[in-house]
């Protein structure tokens, strides 16, 4: 090879390597920019090239901006609800009515107020009549006094009834407050339990991961030590087999020598018995000899027999007798237990044979290649199972680290917020009741009592010129009370303020309501919006005035709409950047749009 050829090859190799490096860098730069579109192409000017832009489909939510919440303007219990959710109603339709007792009470108040106005008019007319000194006929005066007494008594009874009603309303408000407080405590406890449960689940997931890691390490270690463990097992099996074989041989030897050993034992026992019998005979002879010729006591001449010597002879006799009896018993026991001892040796041989066979089988199994392969496969399978368990534990831990179930958490937090809201309303209602009875109503009834008493006094005392001004003021007060009573009676019904559809029925018959309670919600179906979320990468396809297609519900009803608002402020959640988009449906008299929750799909065609 000459120098020029060698140099040419080096140049070619260098060019190829350089080209590969440039291509790799270019590919990395293109991937890092997130798009393969050439730099000199404006994405907004590509609407005519379908190879770059595709139609966009996103989920959305129906929104009815013309929605109105309806309430009773009077307190009481719901008597009837004439509509259901989804019903279409016309303006002025009666949608709900308070219970008959409340309506009757309001009608009674109107009747009382109207009666009071009539009485006030009559009182004013009587006060404006020209007074003269001609006395009225006694019968007419007595009738007027009786009527005035009746009016005074009625006014006093109404005043007492009102005060009793206040005490009842106060007790109800206290109970509602207590129930709301208990409901809030329960909701907070449920939320705390949920949070504690999440922490417990997180701890369990971490513990499970640690356990899985430990199990995997042990399985890998056991697999790595397979050969060493197998060698140890075989060595231990050989050792066990040798031990069991020695035990078996010893048991068989003991069984084979049983008769000889038994005869030797019997001979030994018989020799012991003979020896004991001889000793007993000697002891008996010594005892008889002592009794024939007792030993004299040399220390005490008055005592004929030496007590110590006599006790020693008797003790020797008793000991010899005991030894003889024991030797007889041992010989009899040895002869009686011959069969049992033989059976024990047979059993020992059988047990040793079984244990020797087990040891042989264990060694054979260990030496069997199939069993060895099975053990190896078992250890390998244990490693795979441990890895799978660890992978699942890591997945479970990651799920717990991502946070608790947002749906359940939102529901529990919503329940707590709702309970706090209800407790606040109950607290305000109780505070209002604690302030005392309605000062205006109480004062009105007290004035009615005072006026009735004054009217009676006037009849008793006769009219005066100052009474006209008082009666005029009373008439105006009664007329104002009548207007309020009529307004409260009208408030016993909930009327439709416009043509629409009932979207929410929030009460049932017998529910207690106030003028702040939500009873119904009505929506105008003629004005409909669709709210959706568009990824920032697709936001260039959307602009105000753009026509879009809306698919509503599972039946696939399609309607046209136009983009009416695009939120330029982006929102980022879990790394995804989005924009909120509002679309207004085009007028469609024939389309029936559901006001309840419905799935909506927004289709945006590429320009």
The CATH number of 234-370 is 1.10.287
Strand order in the sheet with 520-523: 67-70, 520-523, 500-505, 88-89
- Provide mean pLDDT across the span 404-412: 85
Residue 5, pLDDT above cutoff 50: no
What are the residue boundaries of the structural domains of the chain, listed by start?
3-36, 56-96+500-604, 99-205+408-495, 234-370
Nearest Cα to Cα of residue 500 among 527, 479, 480: 527
Confidence bin at 30 (pLDDT 50/70/90): very low
Confidence bin at 274 (pLDDT 50/70/90): very high
Q: Between residues 442 and 584, which one has the greater pLDDT?
A: 584
**Percent of the residues in the chain that have a pLDDT greater than 90, as a whole number:** 21
Question: In angstroms, rounded to a whole number, what is the distance separating the alpha carbons of residues 357 and 361?
Answer: 6
Which residues, other chains included, contact 446 with Cβ-Cβ below 8 Å and sequence gap of 6+?
A: 159
pTM: 0.35
Confidence bin at 298 (pLDDT 50/70/90): low
Tokens 């909701």 belong to residue: 187
- 189-240 pLDDT tens trace: 998 998 888 888 889 999 999 998 999 899 888 888 777 877 788 888 889 9
Q: Residues 437, 158: contact at Cβ < 8 Å?
A: no
Q: Between residues 522 and 225, which one has the greater pLDDT?
A: 522
Topology classification of domain 56-96+500-604: Elongation Factor Tu (Ef-tu); domain 3 (2.40.30)
Which ranges of 257-306 would DSSP assign to H, the alpha helix? Answer: 258-292
Q: Residues 437, 160: contact at Cβ < 8 Å?
A: no
Mean pLDDT of the chain: 81
Confidence bin at 11 (pLDDT 50/70/90): very low
What are 24's two structure tokens?
A: 């790799």
391 in the Ramachandran plot: left (φ > 0), alpha (ψ -120 to 50) or beta?
alpha
Nearest Cα to Cα of residue 219 among 361, 449, 383, 82: 383
- 88-136 pLDDT tens trace: 899 989 999 999 888 888 888 899 999 999 988 888 777 665 444 445 4
What is the model's pLDDT at position 16?
53
């Amino acid at each position: 090879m000459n120098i020029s050829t060698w140099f040419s090859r080096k140049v070619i190799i260098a060019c190829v390597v350089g080209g590969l490096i440039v291509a790799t860098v270019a590919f990395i730069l293109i991937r890092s920019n997130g798009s393969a579109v050439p730099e000199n192409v404006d994405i907004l000017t590509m609407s005519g090239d379908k190879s770059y832009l595709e139609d966009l489909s996103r989920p959305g939510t129906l929104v009815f901006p013309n929605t109105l919440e309806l309430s009773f303007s009077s307190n009481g219990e719901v008597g009837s609800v004439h509509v259901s959710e989804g019903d279409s109603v016309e303006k002025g339709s009666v949608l709900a009515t308070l219970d008959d007792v409340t309506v009757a009470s309001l009608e009674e108040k109107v009747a009382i107020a109207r009666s009071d106005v009539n009485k006030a008019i009559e009182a004013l007319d009587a006060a404006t009549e020209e007074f003269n000194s001609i006395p009225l006929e006694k019968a007419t005066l007595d009738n007027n006094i009786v009527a005035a007494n009746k009016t005074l008594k009625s006014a006093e009874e109404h005043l007492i009834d009102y005060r009793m009603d206040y005490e009842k309303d106060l007790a109800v408000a206290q109970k509602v407050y207590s129930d709301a407080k208990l409901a809030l405590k329960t909701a907070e406890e449920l939320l705390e339990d949920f949070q504690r449960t999440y922490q417990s689940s997180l701890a369990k997931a971490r513990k499970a991961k640690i356990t899985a890691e430990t199990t995997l390490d042990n399985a890998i270690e056991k697999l790595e030590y397979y050969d060493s463990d197998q060698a140890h097992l075989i060595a231990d099996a050989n050792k066990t087999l040798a031990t069991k074989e020695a035990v078996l041989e010893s048991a068989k030897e003991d069984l084979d020598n049983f008769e000889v050993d038994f005869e030797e034992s019997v001979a030994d026992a018989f020799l012991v018995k003979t020896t004991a019998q001889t000793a007993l005979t000697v002891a008996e002879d010594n005892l008889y000899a002592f009794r024939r010729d007792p030993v004299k006591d040399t220390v005490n001449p008055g005592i004929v027999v030496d007590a110590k010597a006599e006790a020693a002879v008797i003790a020797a006799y008793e000991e010899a007798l005991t030894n003889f009896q024991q030797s007889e018993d041992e010989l009899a026991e040895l002869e009686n237990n011959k069969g049992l001892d033989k059976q024990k040796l047979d059993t020992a041989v059988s047990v040793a044979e079984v244990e020797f066979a087990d040891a042989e089988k264990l060694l054979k199994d260990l030496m069997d290649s199939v069993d060895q392969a099975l053990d190896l496969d078992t250890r390998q399978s244990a490693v795979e199972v441990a890895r799978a368990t660890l992978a699942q534990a890591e997945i479970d831990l990651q799920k717990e680290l991502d946070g608790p179930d947002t749906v359940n958490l939102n529901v529990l937090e919503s329940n707590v917020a709702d309970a706090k809201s209800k407790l606040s309303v109950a607290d305000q209602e109780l505070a209002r009741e604690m302030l005392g009875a309605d000062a205006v109503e109480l004062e009105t009834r007290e004035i009615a009592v005072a006026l009735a008493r004054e009217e009676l006094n006037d009849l008793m005392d006769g009219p005066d010129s100052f009474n006209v001004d008082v009666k005029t003021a009373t008439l105006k007060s009664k007329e104002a009370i009548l207007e309020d009573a009529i307004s409260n009676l009208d408030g016993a019904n909930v009327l439709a303020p416009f043509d629409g559809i009932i979207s929410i029925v929030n009460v049932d018959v017998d529910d207690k309501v106030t003028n702040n309670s939500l009873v119904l919600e009505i929506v105008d179906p003629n004005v409909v919006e669709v709210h959706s979320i568009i990824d920032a990468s697709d936001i260039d396809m959307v602009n105000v005035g753009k026509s879009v297609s809306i698919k509503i519900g599972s039946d696939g009803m399609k309607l046209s709409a136009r983009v009416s608002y695009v939120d330029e402020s982006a929102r980022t959640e879990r790394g995804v950047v989005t924009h909120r988009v509002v679309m207004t449906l085009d007028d469609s008299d024939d389309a029936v749009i559901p006001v309840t929750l419905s799935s909506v799909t927004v289709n945006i065609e590429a320009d």
